[in-house]
């Protein structure tokens, strides 16, 4: 490049005649075909690279025309950061000295020339400006001494490798604190190539350095923002959101990061938090966890900044600020604010470096705080909805195992999301029987939860009537239609439908009566290892028009298994296959020996998440010695016989202290059955050792329902059921196709 000082023509200085253009870092941003012809370098090889790379790409001896480097004008003003290359006319001779002089005096790229001993021979003005040291204090000194503030070991390795091999290195990153700006770390992109004589022997090295601090910092900040957006939205846990934030910003934005969160308002997710309120903030996450001086998780973090001129506390304004009251290095505080509510604060500290926070750091902190506020608010809303769901769903989250003398059950229940409309129940009935039910309403949200609670309450109320399963579902269908009408009147356009399975296990007869509305999965396993995967056909759901609901009575010997799911599952589903294998004691692989079958609630976790409610029950039987029954003749003389028979049976069971109450109950029940019932009449006593109760039952084929009433003083009758109810803990009536059964339940001391 020749003829320094010869100005280009007016058109060229305007940029229109330039064959190439450089930016403020000396990177080639434009390279025309004229430049390709002039310097013999293809556009694809130089565009985007430092102009100093031309020294390795051009053949200076073959150049026949000079090149001039100068600033580019825009109108009458110099365009900042723009340099142009123009043809300077034919060269009278060699160009080596002219090119070197132009590069070292006009290039915006820092240049350093080292000898083979890695001593500095020459630096250009840009390099001196970057280092902030006069040239006479650099030239002649060893490289390691001159660049001690830039980590000389890795850079020295690059230089020695190039000097030994002749293979240049490009765009290596070197960080340090130059003397011109000792408080801020700068990053330079360094390229090195070897200088050789005509014989190819090394003469030294030329290294170019471009300050890329702004570009690298911008890329690092963008990466932090990307990581936060990618990871934080995966959780609806506010504490996990805080942990993701502190891990993402260290070490780019800070050496130590802390997030403190306010307790969620107890009045709902939309409750306002006054900006002037004194909100207690507790540390939710710290990274690194072992950082010196960092607060402990759970500790209260005070707000160190006061109020502004309008009385609003600085953190509540939602604008990041520098906290100068905190020792231990520069500290940046980013309030986590949404709709005027202070949800927390993020504190970023640099105890291990002097770099102050810049405007770009404050903008990044503001973006991070805004995104964190949205995620924490979503998590807070989820927690509130979760709490509402649990409150509405009552005691569904009871312990995972339910045991009695006649049945043992385990369950898995997902109370929110897909399971917000699901329910299950294990309901004790008279005569040691147990009802099992699983239901599900499609949809999510408060309306679905409310409808689920109403239907579940209806099931419990209908179960107390001791209805047959198919009769119970028919009445539950009526309830569903009525609720749908109420929803429609309130403006809801979504039709209310539900699925429900209701089963009643009778340990005395060793049978299970099941009815199903919808297409929920029902499985029945037997002690011999066989399974009925389709014990009931699919029918219409509750709230839909269709035929009567499917019902059946299945014999279930002791040790049988009932599996009820809230939704449909394929019979060959691998999770169901594994469940069946576990419940029957078989090895799912078929390779191992049989195992002891048992109920394990953790095994249910392997079932798909769309099965919001899963109920598995293992049946037992009432021992033959715990049941006694006899036929009753329809004549009043049978009352005394029945009374004496009951007393003898209770004494045989060792329950003599309960005999008096049971004797009176049996007397009244038998008398009513003889007077108002229809033969055949049968009396049955059942002892339940697990519940410490005695059940007295009188059955007849009549359909008339007994009525409890209070007799007047002069009445000779009408006190039978009243006396029975007073002497027993519970009583009721259940109907069947064969008639009715009046029962009482009396507790005895354990």
Spell out the domain ranges in the chain: 10-209, 216-305+313-388, 398-619, 624-747
Please indicate whether residue 246 or residue 735 has the higher confidence score (pLDDT).
Answer: 246
Mutual angle of helices 213-232 and 359-393, in 10-degree steps: 0
- In this prediction, residues 722-737 reach a mean pLDDT of 80
Measured in residues, the chain has a length of 750
In Å, how far from its chain's centre is CA 304? 33
Please indicate whether residue 157 or residue 721 has the higher confidence score (pLDDT).
Answer: 157
Q: Which two tokens stand for residue 347?
A: 């504190």
The phi and psi torsions of 112 (rounded to 5 degrees) equal -135, 130
Please indicate whether residue 316 or residue 444 has the higher confidence score (pLDDT).
Answer: 444
What CATH code would you report for 398-619? 3.60.40.10
Q: What 8-state DSSP symbol labels residue 692?
A: T
Q: In CATH terms, are 216-305+313-388 and 624-747 the same topology? A: no
Query: What's the confidence (pLDDT) of residue 403?
Result: 52
Q: What 8-state DSSP symbol labels residue 654?
A: T
Q: What is the mean pLDDT of the chain?
A: 80
Query: What's the confidence (pLDDT) of residue 416?
Result: 57
Query: What's the confidence (pLDDT) of residue 410?
Result: 87
* Assigned superfamily of 216-305+313-388: GAF domain (3.30.450.40)
Of 274, 291, 275, the C-alpha closest to 283 is: 291
**What are the residues facing 416 on neighbouring strands?**
none
Is the predicted pLDDT of residue 712 greater than 60, yes or no? no
Please indicate whether residue 598 or residue 220 has the higher confidence score (pLDDT).
Answer: 220
Fold exhibited by the domain 624-747: Heat Shock Protein 90 (3.30.565)
Query: What's the confidence (pLDDT) of residue 342?
Result: 84
Burial class of residue 519 (count of CB atoms within 10 Å of its CB; 0-12, 13-18, 19+): middle
May I ask the CATH architecture of the domain 10-209? Answer: 2-Layer Sandwich (3.30)
Answer whether the bond into residue 671 is a cis peptide, omega within 30°: no
Answer whether the bond into residue 251 is a cis peptide, omega within 30°: yes
- In this prediction, residues 642-665 reach a mean pLDDT of 91
Q: Are 12 and 67 in contact (CB under 8 A)?
A: no
Query: What's the confidence (pLDDT) of residue 211?
Result: 83
**What are the residues facing 260 on neighbouring strands?**
283, 345
Reduced 3-state DSSP string for 243-280: HHHHHHHCCCCCCEEEEEEECCCCCCCCCCCCCCCCCC
Query: What's the confidence (pLDDT) of residue 404?
Result: 64
Query: What's the confidence (pLDDT) of residue 388?
Result: 67
Q: How confident is the model at residue 155 (pLDDT cuts 50, 70, 90)?
A: confident
Number of neighbours of residue 207 by Cβ within 10 angstroms: 27
Is the predicted pLDDT of residue 310 greater than 60, yes or no? no
Please give the angle made by the CA atoms of 321, 323 and 329, to the nearest 5 degrees.
Answer: 125
Query: What's the confidence (pLDDT) of residue 594?
Result: 43
Sign of dihedral through CA atoms 320, 325, 326, 328?
positive
Least confident window among 124-128, 186-190, 490-494, 731-735: 124-128
Is the predicted pLDDT of residue 136 greater than 90, yes or no? no
**How far, in Å, CA of 642 to CA of 229, rounded?**
78
pLDDT digits (tens, 9 = 90+) for 292-309: 878 888 888 766 554 444
Q: What 8-state DSSP symbol labels residue 511?
A: E
- The number of CA neighbours under 13 Å toward the Cβ of 558 is 9
User: Which residues in 55-168 belong to E strands, given as ranges?
Assistant: 65-74, 77-90, 110-114, 120-123
Give the list of residues 6+ apart from residue 536 with CB closer than 8 angstroms, or none: 514, 515, 516, 522, 550, 551, 552
Query: What's the confidence (pLDDT) of residue 61?
Result: 64
H runs (alpha helix) in 618-684: 637-652, 659-676
Is the predicted pLDDT of residue 275 greater than 50, yes or no? no
- In this prediction, residues 319-340 reach a mean pLDDT of 84
Separation in Å, CA 59 to CA 1, 27, 45, 51, 694: 12, 20, 14, 15, 110
Q: Are 341 and 276 in contact (CB under 8 A)?
A: no
- In this prediction, residues 446-450 reach a mean pLDDT of 80
- In this prediction, residues 400-425 reach a mean pLDDT of 72
Is 0.75 surpassed by the pTM of this model? no
Query: What's the confidence (pLDDT) of residue 643?
Result: 92
Is the predicted pLDDT of residue 511 greater than 90, yes or no? yes
Query: What's the confidence (pLDDT) of residue 264?
Result: 60
- In this prediction, residues 483-488 reach a mean pLDDT of 91
Burial class of residue 129 (count of CB atoms within 10 Å of its CB; 0-12, 13-18, 19+): middle
pLDDT digits (tens, 9 = 90+) for 614-633: 899 999 888 888 999 999 99
């Amino acid at each position: 490049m020749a003829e320094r000082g010869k100005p280009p023509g007016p058109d060229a200085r305007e940029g229109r005649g330039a064959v190439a253009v450089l930016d403020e870092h000396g990177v080639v941003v434009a390279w025309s075909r004229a430049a390709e012809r002039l310097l013999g370098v293809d556009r694809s090889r130089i565009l985007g690279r430092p102009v100093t790379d031309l020294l390795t790409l051009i053949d200076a001896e073959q150049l026949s025309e000079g090149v001039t480097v100068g600033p580019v004008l825009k109108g009458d003003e110099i365009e900042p950061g723009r340099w142009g290359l123009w043809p300077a006319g034919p060269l009278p001779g060699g160009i080596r000295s002219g090119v070197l002089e132009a590069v070292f005096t006009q290039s915006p790229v820092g240049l350093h020339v080292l000898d083979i001993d890695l001593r500095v021979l020459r630096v250009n003005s840009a390099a001196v400006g970057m280092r902030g040291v006069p040239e006479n204090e650099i030239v002649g000194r060893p490289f390691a001494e001159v660049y001690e503030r830039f980590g000389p070991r890795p850079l020295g390795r690059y230089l020695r490798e190039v000097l030994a091999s002749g293979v240049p290195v490009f765009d290596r990153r070197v960080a340090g604190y130059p003397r011109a700006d000792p408080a801020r770390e700068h990053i330079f992109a360094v390229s090195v190539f070897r200088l050789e004589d005509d014989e190819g022997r090394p003469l030294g090295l030329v290294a170019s350095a471009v300050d890329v601090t702004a570009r690298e910092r911008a890329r690092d900040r963008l990466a932090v923002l990307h990581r936060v957006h990618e990871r934080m939205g995966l959780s609806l846990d506010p504490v996990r959101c805080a942990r993701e934030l502190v891990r993402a910003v260290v070490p780019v934005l800070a050496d130590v990061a802390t997030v403190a969160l306010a307790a969620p308002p107890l009045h709902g997710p939309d409750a306002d938090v006054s900006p002037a309120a004194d909100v207690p903030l507790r540390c939710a996450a710290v990274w690194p966890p072992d950082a010196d001086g960092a607060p402990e998780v759970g500790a209260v973090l005070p707000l160190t900044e006061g109020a502004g001129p309008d009385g609003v506390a600085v953190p509540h304004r939602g604008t990041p600020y520098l906290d100068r009251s905190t020792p231990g290095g520069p500290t940046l505080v980013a309030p986590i604010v949404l709709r005027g509510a202070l949800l927390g604060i993020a504190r970023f500290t640099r105890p291990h470096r002097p770099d102050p926070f810049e405007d770009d750091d404050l903008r990044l902190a503001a973006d991070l705080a805004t995104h964190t506020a949205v995620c924490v608010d979503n998590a807070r809303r989820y927690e509130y909805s979760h709490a509402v769901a649990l409150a509405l769903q009552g005691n569904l989250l009871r312990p995972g195992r339910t045991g009695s003398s006649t049945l043992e059950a385990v369950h898995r229940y997902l109370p929110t999301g897909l399971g917000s409309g699901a329910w299950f129940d294990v309901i004790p009935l008279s005569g040691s029987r147990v009802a099992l039910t699983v239901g599900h309403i499609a949809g999510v949200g408060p309306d679905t939860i409310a409808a689920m609670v109403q239907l579940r309450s209806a099931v419990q109320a209908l179960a107390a009537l001791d209805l047959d399963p198919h009769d119970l579902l028919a009445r539950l269908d009526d309830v569903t239609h009525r609720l749908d009408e109420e929803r429609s009147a309130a403006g809801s356009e979504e039709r209310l439908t539900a699925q429900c399975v209701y089963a009643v296990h009778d340990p005395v007869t060793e049978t299970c009566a099941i009815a199903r509305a919808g297409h929920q999965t029902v499985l029945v396993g037997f002690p011999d290892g066989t399974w009925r995967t389709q014990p009931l056909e699919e029918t219409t759901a509750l709230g839909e028009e269709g035929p009567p609901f499917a019902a059946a009575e299945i014999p279930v010997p002791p040790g049988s298994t009932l599996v009820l799911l809230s939704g449909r599952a394929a019979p060959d589903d691998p999770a169901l296959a594994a469940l069946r294998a576990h419940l029957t004691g078989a090895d799912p692989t078929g390779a191992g020996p049989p195992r002891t079958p048992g109920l394990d609630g953790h095994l249910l976790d392997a079932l798909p998440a769309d099965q919001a409610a899963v109920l598995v029950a293992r049946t037992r039987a009432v021992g033959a010695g715990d049941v006694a029954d006899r036929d009753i003749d329809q004549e009043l003389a049978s009352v005394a016989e029945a009374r004496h028979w009951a007393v003898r049976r209770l004494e045989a069971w060792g329950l003599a202290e309960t005999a008096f109450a049971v004797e009176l109950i049996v007397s009244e029940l038998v008398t009513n059955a003889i007077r108002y019932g229809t033969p055949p009449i049968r009396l049955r006593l059942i002892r339940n050792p697990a519940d410490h109760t005695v059940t007295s039952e009188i059955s007849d084929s009549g359909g008339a329902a007994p009525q409890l009433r209070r007799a007047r003083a002069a009445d000779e009758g009408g006190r039978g059921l009243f006396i029975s109810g007073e002497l027993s803990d519970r009583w009721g009536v259940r109907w069947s196709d064969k008639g009715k059964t009046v029962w009482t339940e009396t507790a005895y001391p354990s």
